[in-house]
Amino acid sequence: MTRPPHSGSGRPRSSSRATLAEAAADLFLEQTYARTTIEEIAQRAGVSRATFFNYFDAKSDLLWVEVDESLIGFGDLLAAVPDAGPEAATPMQAVQTAVLALAAQFGPGRLPLAVTQYELMGTNGELEASALPRFLTLVRLLSDDVARRIGEDASSLLPRSIATAVIGAAVAAAAVWARSGVGRGDLRPVVETAIAPVCAGYQAVLDERLATR
């Protein structure tokens, strides 16, 4: 995952980060991901190797710039769904609302280049490997929120199962969408198709549990 913003001197973070991402994308297209070094990326961006590590922990983080920017706000999306009052959502309504709000941030004009050009860049294997920590981050955030809403410990089976199933379905939808070609539409409806039955099924489980208490 990318490092948090810092207030050090030199080129503004947003500018340096974007410049590094653009330089990396160009090099990955020119000579593939595996044949590109961090030194080459830094040189193309006009910064030092040390500066690279002010913004990214690893070369693979450059494949996920847009995604990581959105993942930072996922906790806020969950917290924004009310669980009390006249507009209170059921636990699974809250899950679906937050996940779809996250998906709505991506469309044909906002998609990691390494996903759409994975064959040219040779990033398929690295994308799969570096996706795992991001998947686990989403599962943890969602599990914590579900646990709070149903009154269980976040480490217990039910909230973890819910979070893993929903995020797994969303990731599957995103993978299909990303590889669907230039005619792809927005990500949100594809994710909704994938997670709606999962959310409905688990809400039925929660309703049954509540009825027997």
Name the pTM for this structure.
Answer: 0.83
The correct CATH number of 63-211 out of 1.10.357.10, 3.90.1150.10, 1.10.3720.10, 3.30.70.360 is 1.10.357.10
CATH 1.10.10.60 domain span(s) along the chain: 13-57
Whether 113 shows a pLDDT value over 80: the answer reads no
Q: Which fold has domain 13-57?
A: Arc Repressor Mutant, subunit A (1.10.10)
Q: What percent of the chain has pLDDT over 70?
A: 90
How confident is the prediction for the chain on average, in pLDDT? 87
Of the two residues 192 and 175, the one the predictor is more confident about is 192
Distance from C-alpha of 208 to C-alpha of 179, rounded to nearest angstrom: 38
CATH 1.10.357.10 domain span(s) along the chain: 63-211
Task: Give counts: helices (H), strands (E), the chain.
Answer: 11, 0
User: What are 31-89's pLDDT values in tens digits?
Assistant: 988 899 999 999 999 999 999 999 999 999 998 888 888 889 999 999 999 998 888 99
